[in-house]
Amino acid sequence: MADSERLFARNSRQQDQHIAGLVRIAVPDMALMQEVLGELWEKSAGLPDLMIDWRSDLGLVDVVDAQIDVGIRFGTPEDSRLIIKKVGTAEDCIVASPELIAQTGMPEDWQSLQRHYPLSALINPNTGRVWNWYLSNQYQFSPARPKFVSNRMENELIGVLKGQAFSCLPRLLCQPYLSTGELVELFPEMERKKWTAYVYRPQRTVTPPRIRFVFDALAEILAQKLSRSKQPARHADQA
């Protein structure tokens, strides 16, 4: 081994030895984050002294009160106390099963869908009310009498796959079922509202190596996940 290679290997080992201690991480409660966590463990396999405190919640976490070191959010960054790294965008899509569409017929437009079709809704833990369906930058509505309500979008997905309701869900969650035809997308021509995906950490005078490592690792993992999700979907007119 050349001297330069030995020096690089020694420096790498020394750097890894400094990556030790606890990192508190806050992420939204969604299935994608389980995949992210798995890949984070893979990236940290050579860091036996790194400890992870992983919190999943759809509610907005107070970074200071909860002593969060690193987090992931979707939306518009608004907290000036945070250092953020934008890693891509995500969007929702309106989906239903082919069986439900065969029973109810295809809605002519989103207004008809809102008024006359069975819908599902997700509870906003910050308000206790259901989240609006954000159809685009111009249009949104709140399901007035949803057939199914849950505090977890994965539960909504089950109802949609079983032909019980139409739903507005993250494309990341629906993509596997759109690809197989188990779900179809409605109104694909409508330009969807884009949600910024970003990794954040609080501003500090000195940021420990363990926090920098987790911050960079999560940014890389999430960027790859978002990039792979941008695949053609099956639309309602193809069902």
Please tell me the predicted confidence (pLDDT) of residue 64.
77
Please tell me the predicted confidence (pLDDT) of residue 91.
93
Q: Which domains does the chain have, with CATH numbers?
A: 19-89+194-229 (3.40.190.10), 91-192 (3.40.190.10)
Q: Which residues contact 27 (CB under 8 A, 6 or more apart)?
A: 33, 36, 37, 54, 55, 56, 71, 72
CA 47 to chain centre: 26
* Successive 10-residue mean pLDDT values, the chain, 239 residues: 48 62 94 95 95 89 84 88 94 97 96 96 92 91 95 96 97 94 95 93 92 97 85 49
Residue 206 has φ and ψ, to the nearest 5°, of -130, 125
Round to whole Å and give the CA distance between 218 and 210. Answer: 12
pTM: 0.80
Q: Which residues contact 155 (CB under 8 A, 6 or more apart)?
A: 148
Give me the amino acid identity at 123.
Answer: I
